[in-house]
A and B are shown apart, each in its own frame.
Chain A
Amino acid sequence: MELILFFLILGFVIGHFRLLPTGTKITQQVMVFGLIFLLLVMGAQLGANKKVLADFGRMGMQAVALAAGGVIFSVLFVRMVEGFIRRGIDSDEYNIKTVSQEEKVGEEG
């Protein structure tokens, strides 16, 4: 856990302060290889585990139920605040327009 957070924060600092030469694609390439390696090992561990393989159908049903739960509740939660957010954006747009109009009037005057 500590190791994970350490590398995540270290990466964030490197990215935020642009400590790597710009235009390099090495980060993405290393990440893709790291990810493929981890996925292959995860797959191999699954393939070697007969108990998990026998349980794959049940796991699929659980996965669909968990995903559906997350999707339904997140849509409901965002729906509850949709109007509030929309009013905020609209009033900000109004403010931006008002400010720019005032500036124009000021310039003309």
Chain B
Amino acid sequence: MTWIIIISVAAGMLLGYWVIPHELVGCLDKLTTAALCVLLLGVGIELGQQKEAWERLWKVGWRVILVPVMVALGSLLGSLVVGAAIGMPVNESLAVGAGFGWYSLSGVLLAKIYSVELGALAFITNVARELMAFLLIPVTARYIGKFSAVAPGGATTMDTTLPLVSRSTDADTAVVAFINGSILSSLVPILVPLLIKL
């Protein structure tokens, strides 16, 4: 899926540069709005079906909810600090940070509701976050802490980085990672549009 996403963007860029007339790209507004609505309907259905994460949370204990809360706060504060250092407006840096590694959704959301430039930045930032997660999860698990190893993955710890978290830590932490990814994934489509409106 990762390759399909990256190839889609690259193919779109080549088409936009060489093939599609500039005027036509601007005329796709209604179609992209419809596609975004369909995509969010699907995201909602998947999140609604996910009762497993809540059942597991109930069994493991309420304190575990602190992991996604801290990952969310840390991601937003980190983006805010770096954004301020490079002269980005607060709403833009927070909205990019609120992607929590889910590059496809945060990228298309911001490209559609704000600007294509910020959508591209959100896409590349969150791709970079996922790549960093692959490198840092084993190191963090070994030298900092097992729950801390869940943090770099953000929303991706419920799918793409879950096997790595599981291999680098233990069964308890794998359950925490799944809960963390589920909660952060639910927050992305809510926080990104909210924060960009600040």
Q: How large is the interface on A (under 10, 10 to 19, 20 to 34, 35 or more residues)?
A: 35 or more
B44 and A14 contact, CB distance less than 8 A = yes
| Contact string against B for A residues 58-86, beta-carbon threshold 8 Å, 1 for contact and 0 otherwise | 01101111111111111111111110111
| Chain B residues packing against A (C-beta within 8 Å) | 4-5, 8-18, 20, 22, 25, 28, 31-33, 35-51, 60-64, 66-67, 70-79, 81-83, 85-86, 88, 93, 96-97, 100, 104, 107-109, 111-113, 116-117, 119-121, 123-129, 132-133, 136, 140, 144-148, 150-152, 154, 172, 176, 189-190, 193-194, 197
Q: How many A-B residue pairs have CB under 8 A?
A: 304
Residue of B nearest to A88 (CB): B63
Tell me if A99 counts as interface (CB < 8 A to partner B).
Answer: no
14 A-B residue pairs with Cβ-Cβ distance under 8 Å, sorted by A, are: A1-B113, A7-B38, A39-B9, A43-B9, A43-B13, A60-B124, A62-B88, A66-B79, A68-B78, A70-B100, A70-B154, A78-B67, A81-B67, A82-B148
A4's partner among B8, B35, B36, B172 (CB-CB below 8 A) is B36
